Structure 1
Amino acid sequence: MSQQLPPFAELLAQCTTSAVHLETRDLYATDVEDHDLKAWRAGELADVSDRSSWWSWFHDAVADAVARGVAVQRARVVSLPATEYIRFEHACTPRNLAAGEDVRWLPRDQALGLLLPAHDYWLFDGQVVRWHHFAGDGRHLRDELDERPVSADHAGKAFAAVWDRAVPHAEFVLD
Protein backbone atom coordinates (compact mmCIF):
# COMPACT_ATOMS: atom_id res chain seq x y z
CA MET A 1 0.00 0.00 0.00
CA SER A 2 1.20 3.45 -0.87
CA GLN A 3 2.13 5.94 1.86
CA GLN A 4 1.30 9.02 -0.23
CA LEU A 5 -2.32 10.07 -0.31
CA PRO A 6 -3.28 12.45 -3.11
CA PRO A 7 -6.35 14.58 -2.49
CA PHE A 8 -9.65 13.04 -3.56
CA ALA A 9 -10.20 15.68 -6.25
CA GLU A 10 -6.82 14.85 -7.76
CA LEU A 11 -7.60 11.13 -7.90
CA LEU A 12 -10.95 11.86 -9.53
CA ALA A 13 -9.33 14.26 -11.99
CA GLN A 14 -7.00 11.47 -13.12
CA CYS A 15 -9.87 9.05 -13.81
CA THR A 16 -10.63 8.14 -17.39
CA THR A 17 -13.45 5.59 -17.08
CA SER A 18 -14.99 5.12 -13.63
CA ALA A 19 -15.07 6.15 -10.01
CA VAL A 20 -17.24 4.08 -7.70
CA HIS A 21 -17.97 4.61 -4.03
CA LEU A 22 -19.28 1.96 -1.65
CA GLU A 23 -20.76 3.13 1.64
CA THR A 24 -21.76 0.56 4.24
CA ARG A 25 -22.13 2.48 7.49
CA ASP A 26 -25.37 3.67 9.09
CA LEU A 27 -23.64 6.51 10.91
CA TYR A 28 -21.05 9.00 9.80
CA ALA A 29 -20.08 11.49 12.50
CA THR A 30 -20.43 15.05 11.41
CA ASP A 31 -19.34 18.21 13.07
CA VAL A 32 -22.07 19.23 15.54
CA GLU A 33 -22.07 22.58 13.76
CA ASP A 34 -22.74 21.01 10.34
CA HIS A 35 -24.94 23.56 8.61
CA ASP A 36 -26.72 21.12 6.29
CA LEU A 37 -27.52 18.63 9.03
CA LYS A 38 -28.92 21.40 11.23
CA ALA A 39 -30.94 22.77 8.32
CA TRP A 40 -32.30 19.32 7.49
CA ARG A 41 -33.31 18.72 11.11
CA ALA A 42 -35.15 22.05 11.04
CA GLY A 43 -36.84 21.18 7.73
CA GLU A 44 -34.90 23.94 5.98
CA LEU A 45 -32.42 22.10 3.74
CA ALA A 46 -31.56 24.26 0.73
CA ASP A 47 -33.43 23.37 -2.44
CA VAL A 48 -31.31 21.47 -4.94
CA SER A 49 -32.12 24.09 -7.59
CA ASP A 50 -30.32 26.74 -5.49
CA ARG A 51 -26.81 25.52 -6.29
CA SER A 52 -25.11 28.55 -4.79
CA SER A 53 -26.27 27.43 -1.35
CA TRP A 54 -24.77 23.93 -1.43
CA TRP A 55 -22.47 23.34 -4.42
CA SER A 56 -18.90 22.59 -3.30
CA TRP A 57 -15.46 21.56 -4.55
CA PHE A 58 -16.67 17.94 -4.38
CA HIS A 59 -19.57 18.62 -6.73
CA ASP A 60 -17.20 20.47 -9.08
CA ALA A 61 -14.85 17.48 -9.15
CA VAL A 62 -17.69 15.05 -9.86
CA ALA A 63 -19.24 17.27 -12.54
CA ASP A 64 -15.86 17.71 -14.24
CA ALA A 65 -15.25 13.95 -14.24
CA VAL A 66 -18.71 13.20 -15.61
CA ALA A 67 -18.21 15.84 -18.33
CA ARG A 68 -15.04 13.95 -19.36
CA GLY A 69 -17.06 10.74 -19.67
CA VAL A 70 -16.19 9.19 -16.31
CA ALA A 71 -19.02 7.13 -14.80
CA VAL A 72 -19.34 8.18 -11.15
CA GLN A 73 -21.44 5.75 -9.11
CA ARG A 74 -22.26 5.50 -5.41
CA ALA A 75 -23.90 2.53 -3.70
CA ARG A 76 -25.11 2.69 -0.14
CA VAL A 77 -25.84 -0.42 1.92
CA VAL A 78 -28.18 0.66 4.72
CA SER A 79 -30.10 -0.79 7.61
CA LEU A 80 -33.85 -0.27 7.73
CA PRO A 81 -35.44 1.39 9.47
CA ALA A 82 -32.84 3.99 8.62
CA THR A 83 -30.80 5.96 11.12
CA GLU A 84 -31.22 9.71 11.30
CA TYR A 85 -27.97 10.16 9.41
CA ILE A 86 -29.05 7.88 6.56
CA ARG A 87 -32.30 9.85 6.31
CA PHE A 88 -30.21 13.01 6.06
CA GLU A 89 -28.01 11.46 3.35
CA HIS A 90 -31.11 10.40 1.43
CA ALA A 91 -32.43 13.96 1.58
CA CYS A 92 -29.10 15.33 0.29
CA THR A 93 -28.64 12.77 -2.50
CA PRO A 94 -30.29 14.98 -5.16
CA ARG A 95 -27.11 17.08 -4.86
CA ASN A 96 -25.01 14.08 -5.88
CA LEU A 97 -27.37 13.44 -8.77
CA ALA A 98 -27.20 17.08 -9.87
CA ALA A 99 -23.41 16.79 -10.05
CA GLY A 100 -23.76 13.72 -12.29
CA GLU A 101 -23.39 10.82 -9.86
CA ASP A 102 -25.58 7.77 -10.21
CA VAL A 103 -26.68 6.66 -6.74
CA ARG A 104 -28.29 3.41 -5.64
CA TRP A 105 -29.40 2.04 -2.27
CA LEU A 106 -29.38 -1.54 -0.99
CA PRO A 107 -31.21 -2.50 2.20
CA ARG A 108 -28.75 -4.42 4.35
CA ASP A 109 -31.01 -7.47 4.60
CA GLN A 110 -30.84 -7.78 0.81
CA ALA A 111 -27.03 -7.89 0.93
CA LEU A 112 -27.02 -11.36 2.47
CA GLY A 113 -24.57 -13.62 0.69
CA LEU A 114 -22.44 -10.77 -0.61
CA LEU A 115 -18.81 -10.62 0.46
CA LEU A 116 -18.26 -6.97 1.30
CA PRO A 117 -15.10 -5.28 2.58
CA ALA A 118 -14.93 -4.03 6.15
CA HIS A 119 -14.31 -0.46 4.97
CA ASP A 120 -16.03 2.07 2.75
CA TYR A 121 -14.00 3.02 -0.30
CA TRP A 122 -13.65 4.77 -3.62
CA LEU A 123 -12.32 2.73 -6.54
CA PHE A 124 -10.79 4.77 -9.35
CA ASP A 125 -10.67 3.29 -12.87
CA GLY A 126 -10.86 -0.17 -11.33
CA GLN A 127 -7.22 0.15 -10.26
CA VAL A 128 -6.75 2.34 -7.18
CA VAL A 129 -8.70 1.96 -3.95
CA ARG A 130 -9.02 4.75 -1.42
CA TRP A 131 -10.08 2.98 1.78
CA HIS A 132 -11.88 5.01 4.48
CA HIS A 133 -11.19 4.10 8.10
CA PHE A 134 -13.85 5.07 10.65
CA ALA A 135 -14.19 4.73 14.41
CA GLY A 136 -17.19 2.88 15.82
CA ASP A 137 -18.98 6.16 16.52
CA GLY A 138 -18.67 7.20 12.86
CA ARG A 139 -15.70 9.53 13.19
CA HIS A 140 -13.47 9.49 10.13
CA LEU A 141 -9.99 8.42 11.21
CA ARG A 142 -7.96 8.34 8.00
CA ASP A 143 -7.87 7.25 4.40
CA GLU A 144 -5.45 4.80 2.86
CA LEU A 145 -4.47 4.35 -0.78
CA ASP A 146 -4.16 0.80 -2.05
CA GLU A 147 -2.81 0.11 -5.54
CA ARG A 148 -2.59 -3.67 -5.25
CA PRO A 149 -4.40 -5.34 -8.17
CA VAL A 150 -5.97 -7.94 -5.87
CA SER A 151 -7.52 -5.21 -3.69
CA ALA A 152 -8.88 -3.36 -6.71
CA ASP A 153 -10.28 -6.60 -8.11
CA HIS A 154 -12.03 -7.48 -4.84
CA ALA A 155 -13.36 -3.93 -4.42
CA GLY A 156 -14.64 -3.89 -8.00
CA LYS A 157 -16.42 -7.21 -7.60
CA ALA A 158 -17.97 -6.18 -4.29
CA PHE A 159 -19.24 -2.92 -5.76
CA ALA A 160 -20.67 -4.66 -8.84
CA ALA A 161 -22.50 -7.18 -6.66
CA VAL A 162 -24.08 -4.42 -4.57
CA TRP A 163 -24.87 -2.30 -7.64
CA ASP A 164 -26.68 -5.18 -9.33
CA ARG A 165 -29.04 -5.61 -6.36
CA ALA A 166 -29.38 -1.95 -5.38
CA VAL A 167 -32.32 0.32 -6.12
CA PRO A 168 -31.85 3.62 -8.01
CA HIS A 169 -32.28 6.65 -5.77
CA ALA A 170 -35.46 7.82 -7.54
CA GLU A 171 -37.12 4.49 -6.70
CA PHE A 172 -35.78 3.99 -3.18
CA VAL A 173 -38.11 4.80 -0.31
CA LEU A 174 -36.88 4.82 3.28
CA ASP A 175 -39.21 2.91 5.61
Structure 2
Amino acid sequence: MGSSRTLGDLFDSFEREAFRLETLDDYSRSGNTDAYELFRAGEPQPDGYNAEWVAELRSHTGRGKRVYRVHVLTRPLTEYLRFELGWGYRKNMTGGEEFFILDVTDAPNPLAGVPDFWLFDSADTAVMEYDEHGAFRGANVLPVAETERFLVYRQAALAHAEPFTDWWAKYGK
Protein backbone atom coordinates (compact mmCIF):
# COMPACT_ATOMS: atom_id res chain seq x y z
CA MET A 1 0.00 0.00 0.00
CA GLY A 2 1.18 3.51 -0.74
CA SER A 3 1.12 6.66 1.32
CA SER A 4 -2.42 7.40 0.12
CA ARG A 5 -3.77 5.36 3.05
CA THR A 6 -6.03 7.21 5.45
CA LEU A 7 -6.86 6.83 9.12
CA GLY A 8 -10.17 5.29 8.04
CA ASP A 9 -8.31 2.74 5.90
CA LEU A 10 -6.19 1.75 8.89
CA PHE A 11 -9.28 1.32 11.09
CA ASP A 12 -10.91 -0.81 8.41
CA SER A 13 -7.90 -3.07 7.91
CA PHE A 14 -6.18 -3.57 11.29
CA GLU A 15 -6.10 -7.19 12.40
CA ARG A 16 -4.95 -7.28 16.04
CA GLU A 17 -4.73 -3.97 17.87
CA ALA A 18 -5.27 -0.23 17.64
CA PHE A 19 -3.45 1.94 20.19
CA ARG A 20 -4.07 5.66 20.72
CA LEU A 21 -1.95 8.19 22.58
CA GLU A 22 -3.79 11.32 23.70
CA THR A 23 -1.81 14.29 24.96
CA LEU A 24 -4.16 17.28 24.85
CA ASP A 25 -6.31 18.76 27.62
CA ASP A 26 -9.01 19.93 25.23
CA TYR A 27 -10.51 18.28 22.15
CA SER A 28 -13.76 20.22 22.48
CA ARG A 29 -13.74 21.42 18.88
CA SER A 30 -13.11 17.95 17.45
CA GLY A 31 -16.49 16.29 17.79
CA ASN A 32 -19.33 15.63 20.22
CA THR A 33 -19.68 19.38 20.67
CA ASP A 34 -23.42 19.06 21.39
CA ALA A 35 -22.77 16.45 24.09
CA TYR A 36 -20.03 18.62 25.60
CA GLU A 37 -22.47 21.55 25.84
CA LEU A 38 -25.01 19.28 27.58
CA PHE A 39 -22.31 18.17 30.02
CA ARG A 40 -21.33 21.78 30.70
CA ALA A 41 -24.97 22.65 31.36
CA GLY A 42 -25.25 19.84 33.94
CA GLU A 43 -27.62 17.78 31.79
CA PRO A 44 -27.67 13.96 31.92
CA GLN A 45 -25.84 11.95 29.28
CA PRO A 46 -28.16 11.32 26.28
CA ASP A 47 -29.12 7.67 25.70
CA GLY A 48 -27.52 7.51 22.26
CA TYR A 49 -24.29 9.25 23.25
CA ASN A 50 -21.29 7.83 21.31
CA ALA A 51 -23.48 5.02 19.96
CA GLU A 52 -21.73 4.84 16.57
CA TRP A 53 -18.26 4.61 18.10
CA VAL A 54 -19.40 2.03 20.65
CA ALA A 55 -20.87 -0.05 17.80
CA GLU A 56 -17.60 0.22 15.86
CA LEU A 57 -15.65 -0.78 18.96
CA ARG A 58 -17.89 -3.82 19.45
CA SER A 59 -17.35 -4.84 15.82
CA HIS A 60 -13.60 -4.93 16.52
CA THR A 61 -13.47 -6.22 20.09
CA GLY A 62 -16.13 -8.83 19.32
CA ARG A 63 -13.66 -10.34 16.83
CA GLY A 64 -10.84 -10.42 19.38
CA LYS A 65 -9.16 -7.15 18.37
CA ARG A 66 -7.84 -4.84 21.06
CA VAL A 67 -8.56 -1.10 21.05
CA TYR A 68 -6.81 0.80 23.83
CA ARG A 69 -5.42 4.20 24.67
CA VAL A 70 -3.28 6.15 27.09
CA HIS A 71 -4.09 9.76 27.96
CA VAL A 72 -1.27 11.90 29.33
CA LEU A 73 -2.75 14.48 31.70
CA THR A 74 -2.31 16.60 34.80
CA ARG A 75 -4.66 17.40 37.64
CA PRO A 76 -6.78 19.32 38.21
CA LEU A 77 -8.65 18.16 35.13
CA THR A 78 -9.89 20.69 32.64
CA GLU A 79 -13.64 20.85 32.20
CA TYR A 80 -13.20 19.10 28.86
CA LEU A 81 -11.22 16.23 30.42
CA ARG A 82 -13.91 15.78 33.09
CA PHE A 83 -16.34 15.36 30.17
CA GLU A 84 -14.08 13.10 28.10
CA LEU A 85 -13.21 10.79 30.97
CA GLY A 86 -16.53 10.90 32.81
CA TRP A 87 -18.78 10.52 29.78
CA GLY A 88 -16.60 9.36 26.90
CA TYR A 89 -14.26 6.82 28.43
CA ARG A 90 -16.88 5.31 30.69
CA LYS A 91 -19.29 4.95 27.74
CA ASN A 92 -16.64 3.61 25.33
CA MET A 93 -15.65 0.94 27.84
CA THR A 94 -19.06 -0.65 27.15
CA GLY A 95 -17.77 -1.32 23.62
CA GLY A 96 -14.62 -2.97 24.91
CA GLU A 97 -12.15 -0.10 24.57
CA GLU A 98 -9.45 -0.07 27.28
CA PHE A 99 -8.17 3.15 28.84
CA PHE A 100 -5.04 4.03 30.79
CA ILE A 101 -4.00 7.30 32.41
CA LEU A 102 -0.46 8.63 32.52
CA ASP A 103 -0.82 11.27 35.23
CA VAL A 104 2.17 13.62 35.15
CA THR A 105 0.92 15.97 37.87
CA ASP A 106 3.71 14.95 40.26
CA ALA A 107 6.16 13.33 37.85
CA PRO A 108 8.11 14.26 34.74
CA ASN A 109 6.32 13.60 31.46
CA PRO A 110 8.20 10.75 29.72
CA LEU A 111 6.45 11.69 26.47
CA ALA A 112 6.89 15.47 26.43
CA GLY A 113 6.66 16.74 22.87
CA VAL A 114 5.22 13.49 21.46
CA PRO A 115 2.16 14.10 19.26
CA ASP A 116 -1.18 12.34 19.47
CA PHE A 117 -1.20 9.22 17.32
CA TRP A 118 -2.88 5.94 16.47
CA LEU A 119 -0.69 2.84 16.03
CA PHE A 120 -2.22 -0.16 14.27
CA ASP A 121 -0.83 -3.71 14.57
CA SER A 122 2.54 -2.28 15.66
CA ALA A 123 3.08 -1.36 12.01
CA ASP A 124 1.03 1.59 10.79
CA THR A 125 1.04 5.03 12.42
CA ALA A 126 -1.30 7.96 11.95
CA VAL A 127 -0.21 11.19 13.63
CA MET A 128 -3.22 13.26 14.66
CA GLU A 129 -3.01 16.99 14.02
CA TYR A 130 -4.94 19.61 16.01
CA ASP A 131 -4.97 23.37 16.03
CA GLU A 132 -4.26 25.42 19.16
CA HIS A 133 -7.96 25.25 20.12
CA GLY A 134 -8.23 21.44 20.01
CA ALA A 135 -9.90 21.26 16.59
CA PHE A 136 -8.92 18.18 14.58
CA ARG A 137 -7.10 19.16 11.39
CA GLY A 138 -6.42 15.72 9.99
CA ALA A 139 -4.33 12.59 10.31
CA ASN A 140 -0.97 12.07 8.66
CA VAL A 141 -0.33 8.39 7.89
CA LEU A 142 3.42 7.88 8.13
CA PRO A 143 5.63 5.57 6.09
CA VAL A 144 6.17 2.22 7.83
CA ALA A 145 9.87 3.10 8.16
CA GLU A 146 8.90 5.68 10.83
CA THR A 147 7.01 3.18 13.02
CA GLU A 148 9.85 2.24 15.38
CA ARG A 149 9.84 5.46 17.41
CA PHE A 150 6.07 5.17 17.92
CA LEU A 151 6.53 1.64 19.27
CA VAL A 152 8.95 3.16 21.80
CA TYR A 153 6.42 5.88 22.67
CA ARG A 154 3.69 3.27 23.19
CA GLN A 155 5.95 1.20 25.45
CA ALA A 156 6.85 4.25 27.53
CA ALA A 157 3.20 5.29 27.81
CA LEU A 158 2.08 1.86 28.99
CA ALA A 159 5.04 1.51 31.38
CA HIS A 160 4.07 4.72 33.19
CA ALA A 161 0.28 4.57 32.97
CA GLU A 162 -2.30 2.98 35.23
CA PRO A 163 -5.70 1.53 34.33
CA PHE A 164 -8.32 4.25 33.98
CA THR A 165 -10.73 2.60 36.44
CA ASP A 166 -8.05 2.61 39.16
CA TRP A 167 -7.10 6.23 38.45
CA TRP A 168 -10.75 7.35 38.23
CA ALA A 169 -11.53 5.74 41.60
CA LYS A 170 -8.86 7.98 43.16
CA TYR A 171 -9.32 11.23 41.22
CA GLY A 172 -12.61 11.19 39.30
CA LYS A 173 -15.25 13.72 40.38
> Secondary structure of the residue that 2:10 maps to in structure 1?
helix
User: Which residue of structure 2 aligns with residue 106 of structure 1?
Assistant: 102
User: Which residue of structure 2 aligns with residue 4 of structure 1?
Assistant: 4
Structure 1 residues 32 and 60: CA distance shift in structure 2, 3 A: closer
Once the 2 structures are TM-superposed, how far is the Cα of residue 123 of structure 1 from its aligned partner? 0.4
Q: Which runs of 5+ in 2 are unaligned?
A: none
TM-score (norm 1): 0.83
Q: After the TM superposition, which residues 49-68 of structure 1 pair with which residues of structure 2 at under 5 Å, given as runs?
A: 50=47, 53-68=48-63
Q: 2:139 aligns with which of 130, 143, 154?
A: 143
Q: 1:156 aligns with which of 138, 151, 160?
A: 151
Q: Does 2:80 align with 1:85?
A: yes
The more displaced of 152-161 and 103-112 is: 103-112
Q: Which runs of 5+ in 1 are unaligned?
A: none
Q: Does 2:72 align with 1:73?
A: no
Structure 1 residues 41 and 118: CA distance shift in structure 2, 3 A: same
The 2-side partners of 1:31 and 1:121 are apart by: 15
Structure 1 residues 98 and 144: CA distance shift in structure 2, 3 A: same
Q: 2:122 aligns with which of 108, 119, 126?
A: 126
Q: Does 2:23 align with 1:24?
A: yes
Once the 2 structures are TM-superposed, how far is the Cα of residue 118 of structure 1 from its aligned partner? 3.1
C-alpha contact 1:130 1:144 (8 A) present in aligned 2: yes
Once the 2 structures are TM-superposed, how far is the Cα of residue 174 of structure 1 from its aligned partner? 4.0
Runs of 4+ in 1 over 6 A off after TM superposition: none
Once the 2 structures are TM-superposed, how far is the Cα of residue 166 of structure 1 from its aligned partner? 1.2
The 1-side partners of 2:28 and 2:135 are apart by: 5
Structure 1 residues 70 and 104: CA distance shift in structure 2, 3 A: same
What percentage of aligned pairs have identical amino acids? 23
> Secondary structure of the residue that 1:138 maps to in structure 2?
coil
Aligned residue pair count: 168
The 2-side partners of 1:110 and 1:69 are apart by: 36
| Structure 1 letter corresponding to 2:22 | E
Once the 2 structures are TM-superposed, how far is the Cα of residue 117 of structure 1 from its aligned partner? 5.2
| Structure 2 letter corresponding to 1:147 | P
> Residues 135-156 of structure 1: CA distance to partner in whole angstroms, max 9, x if unpaired?
122122221101323x322112
Q: Does 2:34 align with 1:35?
A: yes
Once the 2 structures are TM-superposed, how far is the Cα of residue 55 of structure 1 from its aligned partner? 3.8
C-alpha contact 1:12 1:62 (8 A) present in aligned 2: no
| Structure 2 letter corresponding to 1:155 | F
The 1-side partners of 2:139 and 2:107 are apart by: 25
